[in-house]
Amino acid sequence: MDMPFPELVPRFRELYPDVVVPRTRPMPGALAAVASVRDAGGSVIVVTGKYQPSAELHLRALGIEVDAIVGELFSDTKATALVEHGASIYVGDHVGDVRGAQRAGAVSVAVASGPCGAGELADAGADVVLASLDDFPAWFGEHRAPAL
């Protein structure tokens, strides 16, 4: 099945909904993290490097409702969407996510359960480094407490 690279992308996107999405599982802590923001009256915005239609399929399959989703943005280019949607906190697992949050003036919450370790995320300038997304609701509750 030799296909030139440009022809592989449409084929991948055609197969993705039936092959990948049904196998989707939420990241540990993701549902509780979203719920903690919702319970506090906040908006949930997903800004991702993933192809937007694929990201939408994943969220729908997981039953996660968001206020907005913006896909195909990487590193500090994520700042445009974060500013546009008024994000004050951005959670990510990559140094590029830290850069995007910094450029947008948002609090960078880095989770060390992805491709980058805690030290790398801290060195990139993350405001907060969590070992797991499971730790987000407690951090978020403490972060919000001074405003109450």
When pLDDT is averaged across residues 123-142 and rounded to a whole number, the result is 98
Length of the chain: 148
Element containing residue 68 per DSSP (H, E): strand 68-70
Residue range 5-147, CATH number:
3.40.50.1000
When pLDDT is averaged across residues 45-72 and rounded to a whole number, the result is 97
Does pTM surpass 0.85?
A: yes
Selected residue with higher pLDDT from 89 and 147: 89
pLDDT at 103 over 50: yes
How far is the first Cα of the chain from the last one, in angstroms, to the nearest whole number? 60
Residue-level pLDDT at 106: 98
Residues near 83 by beta carbon (within 8 Å), at least 6 away in sequence: 104, 105
* Residues 14-30: tens digit of each pLDDT: 888 899 889 999 999 99
Burial of 148 (0-12, 13-18, 19+ CB in 10 A): exposed
